[in-house]
Amino acid sequence: MDTDQLVRVFTEYFEERGHRRITGSTLLPPPGDQVLFTTSGMHPLTPYLEGRPHPLGRRLVNLQRCLRTTDLDEVGDRTHLTVFEMLGSWSLGDYEGPQSLDWGYGLLTDGFGVDPGRLHVTVFGGDDRVGPDTGSLELWQDRGVPVELTVEDNWWSNGPTGPCGPDSEIFLWTGDTPPESTPTRDDRWVEVWNHVMMRHRRLDDGSLVPLPQRNVDTGLGLERLSSLLQGRSSVFECDVFDPWRRLLPPLWRLDEPSLRLVGDHLRSSVVVIGDGVRPSTTGRGYVLRRLVRRVLTVLRRDDPRRGLGDLPDELVRHTLDRFRQDVPTETVRQVLLDEERRFDRLLDRGRRLLSRPRFRGPLGEDDLHYLHDTHGLPRDLVLDLRSR
């Protein structure tokens, strides 16, 4: 099943069960949201989870692009991407968690053909404020799926305050042996789908109050499930990365971890630029800057002549199309090339400064602060220049 088919099967399954398809939003969350980027399909729906009636009703389904910087250091492993797409379904004060889990189980096993014996789930075991999620527990016991109870791992929130609740996560076994152990003890269990019983709101003082309605918010990482259904060993090998795997290796000879990082960060940069963000020293623009500069640092490590001018247009086009962004490829290329020029100027300045007698010996914290505050040279860049 290719990725587009997966999206179709998912949305049709929920449409057949009374859900209306909504159009995904950009990576920029609505004003007032606490995060820089949309990290989950629920962001654009926050007002409706809090009780405002949605024009399309109480059952929704969609595909939302997301960006997670919390996972930045994990990019390059089998399952994490910086920008990814999330399939989601919502009950806005309509049906309850067990119904959502039951449909989820049906879709995974009947719709996607996952062997039920490769599933494990986790369920909220309760803490001193909220009791155990017995509804989810009973549903899974009824279906014969093994359950692990946890506390922190099964509580989902968007940020320190706002809508939150207990969740039940569905894991798929990816090992070569028969399934063993549990999701928190063995990372061959890979999380594929999270169902959040979103019925609380956390206030500034940390206390929990009930939301005006009992919602369910689910999210399924598209590239992750796609790679698993396609029997690939990492997200970078699912079909959406085919053009990247075809065009990057002949262009830049990179080891596998660097290839994954460069592919992920360039693809993410294209999407972020496509949503209107430009590199800067703060906020979203700084995230973009870090992504581009990390790519350049990896590329130049082996060959200083490498540059983003060589990035094939086809990869920019393929990414913009995949994320349904109506932006000329030339605009994206221009932003990348401008940032590359800025980075090169900074490198030149850094090299010149570091050759001064004052900086020839070991660098102390004072030196690093001075180079950053007075000359705009980030700590990482200085340390990188020194290590060459």
221 or 274: CB nearest ligand SER: 221
- Token pair 């790519």: residue: 295
CB of 71 to ligand SER, least distance (A): 12
Out of 61, 119, 196, 298, which residue is the one contacting ligand SER (CB under 6 A)? 196
In this complex, which beta carbon is closest to ligand SER, that of residue 38 or of residue 329? Answer: 38
Which is it for strands 208-221 and 83-91: parallel, antiparallel or unpaired?
antiparallel
Say if residues 171 and 134 touch (Cβ distance below 8 Å): no
Q: Which is nearer to ligand SER, 35 or 247 (CB)?
A: 35
Contact between 88 and ligand SER per CB under 6 A: yes
Question: Among residues 255, 250, 230, which one has the least CA distance to residue 315?
Answer: 250
Q: Of 26 and 215, which has the nearer Cβ to ligand SER?
A: 215
Residue closer to ligand SER (CB basis): 41 or 97: 41
Q: How far is the CB of 158 from ligand SER (least distance, A)?
A: 7
Residue placing its CB nearer to ligand SER in the complex, 170 or 316: 170
Please, which residue, 89 or 269, has the CB nearer to ligand SER? 89
- Minimum separation from the CB atom of position 88 to ligand SER (A): 5
Q: Which of 41, 93, 166, 279 binds ligand SER (CB under 6 A)?
A: 41
Residue 104, token pair as written in the block: 């989820």
The alpha carbon torsion through 149, 151, 155, 161 (nearest 10 deg) reads 170
Is-contact 75 264, C-beta < 8 A?
yes
In angstroms, rounded to a whole number, what is the distance separating the alpha carbons of residues 76 and 3?
Answer: 20
Binding map of ligand SER across residues 100-139, x = CB under 6 A, - = no contact: ----------------------------------------
Judged on CB neighbours under 10 Å (0-12, 13-18, 19+), 16 is: exposed
Q: Are 149 and 124 in contact (CB under 8 A)?
A: yes
Minimum gap (Å) between residue 281 Cβ and ligand SER: 29
Q: How far apart are CA 250 and CA 310, in angstroms?
A: 11
Question: Which segment (35-43, 200-208, 250-258, 331-339) binds ligand SER by CB under 6 A?
Answer: 35-43
Residue type for 253, please? R
Euclidean distance between CA atoms 51 and 232, whole angstroms: 41
- Binding marks (x or -) toward ligand SER, 209..228, rule CB under 6 A? --------xxx---------
Query: Considering only CA atoms, which of 171, 164, 138, 167 is closest in space to residue 153?
Result: 167
**Minimum distance from CB of 377 to ligand SER (Å)?**
36
Hey, which residues between 133 and 192 contact ligand SER (CB under 6 A)? 156
Q: Round the CA-based radius of gyration of the chain to a whole number and report it.
A: 23
Rounded CA separation 11/109 (Å) = 16
Q: What does the binding site for ligand SER look like in residue numbers (CB under 6 A)?
A: 40-42, 88, 156, 194, 196, 217-219
